[in-house]
Structure 1
Amino acid sequence: MNVKNRFYRLIRGLLAVCVMCALADAGVQGAEMQIGENDSVVRSTADHAKFKILDQDFKTGPDVTRACLTCHTQAALQVHKTFHWTWESEKGIQKGIGKKNVLNNF
């Protein structure tokens, strides 16, 4: 494969990633609008310490997600605006870390 073809494949791949990220972000923004334009963050009304399914040592991130999804069947509406999803590090610790800025949420 010559350099020109490799370059075009790289550009197409990068564009595909950009499109996927934009579409994913649009989905989250749409969910926020359904919750309410004036709501900054949705607060939980449940004491999660009382849920038996959460009273265990989780081995992986996906294990935690599976447990959450047993109750949060509409995750985009129920979780994406909560602190679990939007947390960021405190100012001065390290810029840009936190679940809000992580591509892989596990």
Structure 2
Amino acid sequence: MDDLDPITLAGTRPKGKRPYFFQDPDVERVLSIAMVIAMEHAVTRQRLDALERLIESKGVATRAELDQFQPDADAEAERTTWMQAYIARVLRIVQQETEALESGTKEPPLADLIAQMRDDH
């Protein structure tokens, strides 16, 4: 059992309709969105911690200096573009369900959604 990849297991999908854990599909969508945000935040927090520790250990800047950083116009524009792409990823489930309803197709398997999220990073 130790050789099993938990991400792969989480992405496996039984035959038939997508399993729902709550009776209300809107609650299910909100949960999916919250889980995407939680996953994004956890990865970002780990990377930020690593960067701050490396920067401080090499004497480049202190954490206080990092906290006081003000981006220039170009950096702010890049941040805005990134934020728009991030929100699109967070709301992907809503977009995909809307597209599926409009085209009459089925939702993509959860494994495909996880793979897409991995590719976005």
Fold shared by both chains (TM-score > 0.5)? no
Q: TM-score, normalised by structure 2?
A: 0.29
Q: Which one has a larger percent helix, Structure 1 or Structure 2?
A: 2
Greater RCO, 1 or 2 (C-alpha within 8 Å, sep 6+): 2
